[in-house]
Amino acid sequence: MTDQKTPRSLPLSEAITISAQAIGEVMAGRSLTEVLDQLDVHERPIVQSLTFDALRKWVRSQEFIEQFIPKAPPPEVEYLLCVAIALFLQNGVEGKGYAIHTIVDQAVKACSEYEPTMYAKGLVNAVLRKVSLAVQAENEKPYPPDPIPMFFPPWWRASLKRNYSKAWQAMLIQQAQRAPLILRVNAKQHTRQEYQDLLKQAGIASELISEIAGVALDSALLLREPVPVSDLPDFYSGAVSVQDAGAQIAAVLLDPKPGDRILDACAAPGGKTAHLLELAQCDMIALELDGERLGKIGGNLDRLRLHSNAVQVVRGDASKAAWWDGKPFDKILLDAPCSASGIVARHPDIPFLRREADIKALQQRQRAILEQAWKMLRPEGTLLYVTCSVFPEEGEEQAIWFSAEHADALRLSAPGQILPAELNDGFYYALFKKNGP
Ligand SMILES: C[S@@+](CC[C@H](N)C(=O)[O-])C[C@H]1O[C@@H](n2cnc3c(N)ncnc32)[C@H](O)[C@@H]1O
C-alpha cells in the first residue's frame, strides 16, 4: 500500500468515523488491507490516509489521551480521538492540511455515530482543544518529544535492539514516516526514460532510482509528490505499477531469460510475477495458497497485458508437491510468507497484529516451503529466497540453516539483509544455485 495525497472526496467527519471503525477492526486482529479493500473507491483514499497516520502516531496520541482524560474512554471514542490527534500532529509536522478548528468540528460531528453522543461530543471537543494547544506548544520546541511516535511491541523493539544495536532506532523512525510513491515501469511497454517523459508531459515530476543495495535498477521511478494512480499516464493499460524499490530487485536478481521455466512459489498479489514477465517471455507458474489472494494475480496480469499460454496461475501449497507435474524448474522465486516487519511504512497495522510466537511459527513454514522448492529445482538451477522482514530468524538464520542442510546448495552473491531506508522497505535476499549431480 502506498500513501497518496489526501483526497477530500468524503466529508472529513464521515472519513474520521470510518477510520475509527477501521482501527477498531485492526485492534480486533484484522488486517487493515482487508478492511480497506471493502471500502468504496471514493472512501478508500481518505480513510486509508487518516488510518495510516493514526497508527503511525499511536504512542503520541495515547500519551495525550492519558494526560487529558483521567478515566479511559470507550474504545470507539479513543480511536476517533487518535485519528483527530494524528491530524494535528501531521499538520504540525508538515505545516499544512486541515485548520485546527475544522479538525475539532469534524471530529465532534463524527461523534454523532456513537451513543451517548452528548457525552462523547463534549469529551472530544474538550480534549481536542487541549491537545491542539499542547501540539502547538510542542512544535515551538526545537526537538520533538518522542523520536518514535509509532507503536512497536516491546519484544519487537528488543529484537531489533539486540540485532541492530546501532541502527534500530533509525529504522523505527524511518518506518513511522509516510512511504514515498515508487513506480515500476513495464519494460514491455516503455523504457524508463520514455515513461518519465510521459509523466513530465502530465506535469508529474519524477526521479530515477538507479540501484538498491548495489543491485542496478532500470525500472524504478520515485514520485516525491504522490498522486492517485488514476493520474498516472496509461496506468490502466499497464504502463506502470506501484512497487517499492527494494521489491524491484527480486526479478533482477533471479535474472529471467526467454523460455526459462520459472516457479513463483508464493505469488499473490503478483507484483514480482509481473515484473519477471516484463523482463522476459518465460514459462511461468504463479502459485498461491490463498484462494482470495489468487484472484489478484490474474487482475494484475490483465492490467499489465502479461497473460499468455506460457503463464499459469495455480492454487496450491508450495510446501507440498500435490499440484506439481514433476517437471523441474530452471529458476524459483520464493517470496515467503513472513512477519512483514520490513514493510511497516506501507502497512502500519503490522506491529499491532504480530505476536512474538508468530516468528518461530513463520520460520517453520518458510523452512517447509524451502525444502519442497529445492526438490523442484533442476541441477544448475537457481532459487531466490526473499522475505520482507528485518528479523534474522526469517533471513540470515534461514540461509545458514539451508546451506547446512543442503550440501548441493551453493550460495551466490545477493544483498542479504536490506534495512528500511528512505527509498526502500526492509527485505532479505539469499540466492542459491543447485550443484550438479
Ligand atoms: C510475501 S507474499 C508474496 C508477495 C508477492 N510475491 C508479490 O510480490 O506480489 C507471500 C504469499 O505467500 C502465500 N503463501 C503462504 N503460504 C503459502 C504456501 N504454503 N504455498 C503457496 N503460497 C503461500 C501468501 O498467501 C501470500 O500471498
Give pLDDT tens digits for 106-160: 999 998 877 666 678 889 999 999 999 998 887 777 655 567 889 999 999 999 9
User: What is the per-residue pLDDT across 202-221, written as a single tens digit (0 to 9) for each?
Assistant: 999 999 999 999 999 999 99
Of 82, 266, 282, 388, the active-site residue reads 388
C-alpha cell at 401: 540453516
Tell me the C-alpha distance between 186 and 324, whole Å.
30
Split into its structural domains, the chain has a count of: 2
**Containing structural domain, residue 327:** 244-434
User: What is the per-residue pLDDT across 362-402, written as a single tens digit (0 to 9) for each?
Assistant: 999 999 999 999 999 999 999 999 999 999 999 999 999 99
Cell 505476536 belongs to residue: 355
Q: Percentage of the chain with pLDDT > 70?
A: 94
From the CA of 422, how far away is ligand 1's center (Å)? 25
From the CA of 66, how far away is ligand 1's center (Å)? 40
Tell me the C-alpha distance between 155 and 334, whole Å.
27
Which mutation among 288, 313, 367 tests ligand 1's pocket best, with the greatest number of atoms within 8 A of CB?
288
Residue 35 lies in a domain: yes
Mean pLDDT value of segment 155-178: 94
Residue 295 lies in a domain: yes
Cell 539486540 belongs to residue: 162
Contacts for 277 with CB less than 8 Å, ≥ 6 apart? 188, 256, 284, 301, 304, 306, 311
From the CA of 320, how far away is ligand 1's center (Å)? 14
From the CA of 216, how far away is ligand 1's center (Å)? 25
Q: Is the CB of 269 under 6 A from ligand 1?
A: yes
pLDDT over threshold 70, residue 12: yes
CA dihedral 288, 290, 291, 292 (to 10 degrees): -120
Q: Is the overall model pTM greater than 0.95, yes or no?
A: no
Residue 155 lies in a domain: no
Q: Is the CB of 231 under 6 A from ligand 1?
A: no
Mean pLDDT value of segment 302-314: 95
CA dihedral 155, 158, 163, 169 (to 10 degrees): 120
pLDDT given for residue 294 in this prediction: 95
Angle between helices 168-175 and 154-163 (to 10 degrees): 130
From the CA of 370, how far away is ligand 1's center (Å)? 13
User: What is the per-residue pLDDT across 66-108, written as a single tens digit (0 to 9) for each?
Assistant: 999 988 899 999 999 999 999 988 876 455 678 889 999 999 9
pLDDT over threshold 60, residue 4: no
Taking all residues of the chain, what is their mean pLDDT, rounded to a whole number? Answer: 93
Q: Is the CB of 177 under 6 A from ligand 1?
A: no
Residue 343 lies in a domain: yes
Tell me the C-alpha distance between 428 and 415, whole Å.
7
Among 139, 168, 189, identify where a domain stops.
139
**In sequence order, which ranges of 111-242 are alpha helices (DSSP H)?**
117-139, 154-163, 168-175, 192-201
Among 82, 105, 139, identify where a domain stops.
139
More confident residue, 436 or 111: 111
Domain holding 249: CATH number? 3.40.50.150
Q: Is the CB of 290 under 6 A from ligand 1?
A: yes
Q: Which long-range contacts (CB under 8 A, 24 or more apart) does 201-208 make?
A: 201/233, 202/231, 202/232, 202/233, 204/231, 204/232
Residue 423 and residue 279 in one domain? yes
Tell me the C-alpha distance between 428 and 385, whole Å.
8
Residue of 12, 10, 32 lying closest to 21 (CA atoms): 32
Residue 123 and residue 254 in one domain? no
Mean pLDDT value of segment 47-64: 94
Classify strands 283-288 and 261-264 as parallel, antiparallel or unpaired.
Answer: parallel
- Which has the minimum average pLDDT: 142-146, 263-267, 272-276, 344-348? 142-146
By alpha-carbon position, which residue is closest to atom 27 of ligand 1? 268
Residue 216 lies in a domain: no
Among 139, 158, 176, identify where a domain stops.
139
Residue 381 lies in a domain: yes
Residue 358 lies in a domain: yes
Residue 197 lies in a domain: no
Residue 264 and residue 408 in one domain? yes
Which mutation among 276, 285, 289, 363 tests ligand 1's pocket best, with the greatest number of atoms within 8 A of CB?
289
Q: Is the CB of 369 under 6 A from ligand 1?
A: yes
C-alpha cell at 30: 484484522
**pLDDT tier at 246, thresholds 50, 70, 90:** very high
Q: Is the CB of 372 under 6 A from ligand 1?
A: no
Question: Is 111 noted as a catalytic residue in this protein?
Answer: no
